[in-house]
Structure 1
Amino acid sequence: MNRVIIDRECKLEVRNSQLIVEDKKVPLRYIDFLYLIGEIEINTKTIMKLLKEDISILIQNRGFGLIYPQKSKNNDLKKKQYFALKKEVDIAREIIRKKIQKSIDNLVKLNKKIVVDFKILDEISSKDSLLGIEGNFAKEYFKEYFSLFDKTLTKGYRSKRPPEDVVNALMSYLYTLLYYEIANRLIFYGFEVGISYLHESFRDHMSLASDLLEVFRSDVDVFVYEMFDNKKVIKKDFTKEKKGIFLRSEKRKEIWSDIKDFFENLKIDEEIAWLRRMIEN
């Protein structure tokens, strides 16, 4: 998937099937996903031209927003998603199994170890019970994971809203970015992102993206550890605000190439294909 990332104050236009960014021009045929970060001027006419070319737009300022083409794709798949709700516990079980197994494997890469009896998963018949098992595993997992960091970087536990330390801040930021990346891929392949099997759908929550994100969370965690371990990110790269601790905008710009490479190496399309098989079989 071809991404164009624009992270400086500028004005965007589309002319002659090209995206115009100041003195630079990018043919629209080379763009699948456009990241707009910060104070960028773009009008509705330009947005509509981008959507017409099947280009999704992720806008990030204080929050995030995804604008994507509303063309109806693959209605047959959407019907299959709906009928697959009859086996949502089975699909949710396999998502959690994948998440736990990958988390264990990734901890091994970091010289940490957790032992899990997967037979318990097979005995579960309700989603609430599955989530209970996943929650208990997460406690053990994060206990091992956060022990890898110096105590000046983390309080030793997962904190989300708001993130209470710099490690959690980078984790949350990357989880959110990856959520939108996965959502865009699912939409591209014709999935209905509001039909999910592990997470509950509400308002504009793209819950199917949250389902699939679970499989990749520990990959993000390894990436976060490596960024701190290699000193590509340090404590002063973050700012403390009333709503929590956040990565500074100038540092985001510096590490975009690392994030982009990380996303490219994730096997998102393979896991989407796996999810589709689970839905259709």
Structure 2
Amino acid sequence: MNRVIIDRECKLEVRNSQLIVEDKKVPLRYIDFLYLIGEIEINTKTIMKLLKEDISILIQNRGFGLIYPQKSKNNDLKKKQYFALKKEVYIAREIIRKKIQKSIDNLVKLNKKIVFDFKILDEISSKNSLLGIEGNFAKEYFKEYFSLFDKTLTKGYRSKRPPEDVVNALMSYLYTLLYYEIANRLIFYGFEVGISYLHESFRDHMSLASDLLEVFRSDVDVFVYEMFDNKKVIKKDFTKEKKGIFLRSEKRKEIWSDIKEFFENLKIDEEIAWLRKMIED
């Protein structure tokens, strides 16, 4: 996927099938996903031109919003998603199975070890029980994970809404970005992102993206550890606000290339194909 990230105050327009950003021009054929962050001036005419070229737009400005081409496609897949709800416990269980296995494998990469009896998953007959088991595993997982960091960087547990330390702040930010990355790919392939199997759908929550995000969470965790371990981000790169701790915009701009490379190396399309097979089988 070709991402273009614009993280500065500027004006955007489209002329002659090119995205014009001040003195730079990017042919629209080279853009699949456009990130717009901060104070960017763009009008509805320009947005419509981008959508006409099947370019999705992620807007971040005191929150996130995804704008994507509203073309109805692959209605057969949407029907299969609906009928697959009768086996939602099975699909949810396999998502959690894959998440736990990947989490264990990623901890090994970080010289940490955790044991889990996968046989217990085969005995699950309800989502509530499944979520309870996943929650217990997560406690053990995060105990090992946060022990990797210096105590000045983290309080030693997962915190969100708001994140209470710099490690959690970076984790939450990247989880959110990846959620939109996954949602965009699912929409591209014709999935109905409001039909899901592990997470409950509500309002504008793209719950199927949340389902698949579970598979990649520990990949994000490894990336976060490496960013701190390699000193690409440090404690002073974050600011404390009333709503929590957040990455400073100056640092965010510096590490976009690292984030892009990380996303490009994730096998999102492969996992979407795996999910589709479970739905269609």
The one-character-per-residue Cα deviations of 1:215-243 (angstroms, maximum 9, x if unpaired) are 00000000000000000000000000000
The one-character-per-residue Cα deviations of 1:12-41 (angstroms, maximum 9, x if unpaired) are 001111111111111111110000011000
The one-character-per-residue Cα deviations of 1:57-102 (angstroms, maximum 9, x if unpaired) are 0001111110001000100000000000000000000000000000
The one-character-per-residue Cα deviations of 1:202-223 (angstroms, maximum 9, x if unpaired) are 0000000000000000000000
| SS of aligned partner of 1:155 | coil
The one-character-per-residue Cα deviations of 1:174-193 (angstroms, maximum 9, x if unpaired) are 00000000000000000000
The one-character-per-residue Cα deviations of 1:151-174 (angstroms, maximum 9, x if unpaired) are 000000000110000000000000
| SS of aligned partner of 2:102 | helix
Q: Which moved more, 1:22-31 or 1:242-251?
A: 22-31
Distance (Å, rounded) in 1 between the aligned partners of 2:260 and 2:73:
27
Residue 113 of structure 1 corresponds to: 113
Distance (Å, rounded) in 2 between the aligned partners of 1:114 and 1:152:
24
Q: Does 1:250 align with 2:267?
A: no
Distance (Å, rounded) in 2 between the aligned partners of 1:186 and 1:12:
27
| SS of aligned partner of 1:25 | strand
The one-character-per-residue Cα deviations of 1:111-150 (angstroms, maximum 9, x if unpaired) are 1101100000000000000000000000000000000000
User: 5+ unaligned residues in a row in structure 1: which ranges?
Assistant: none
Shift of 1:197: 0.2
Over 4 Å off, 4+ runs: none
| SS of aligned partner of 2:158 | coil
Shift of 1:51: 0.5
| SS of aligned partner of 1:69 | coil
| CA RMSD of superposed structures (Å) | 0.4
| SS of aligned partner of 2:193 | coil
Residue 101 of structure 2 corresponds to: 101
Distance (Å, rounded) in 1 between the aligned partners of 2:110 and 2:29:
40
Distance (Å, rounded) in 2 between the aligned partners of 1:69 and 1:173:
25
| SS of aligned partner of 1:120 | helix
Distance (Å, rounded) in 1 between the aligned partners of 2:5 and 2:11:
14
Taking the TM superposition and a 5 Å limit, the aligned residue runs for 1:45-60 are 45-60=45-60
Distance (Å, rounded) in 2 between the aligned partners of 1:43 and 1:174:
28
| SS of aligned partner of 1:58 | strand
TM-score in terms of structure 1 length: 1.00
Identity of aligned residues (%): 98
Distance (Å, rounded) in 2 between the aligned partners of 1:256 and 1:25:
19
Distance (Å, rounded) in 1 between the aligned partners of 2:160 and 2:212:
19
Distance (Å, rounded) in 1 between the aligned partners of 2:14 and 2:83:
41
Shift of 1:108: 0.3
User: 5+ unaligned residues in a row in structure 2: which ranges?
Assistant: none
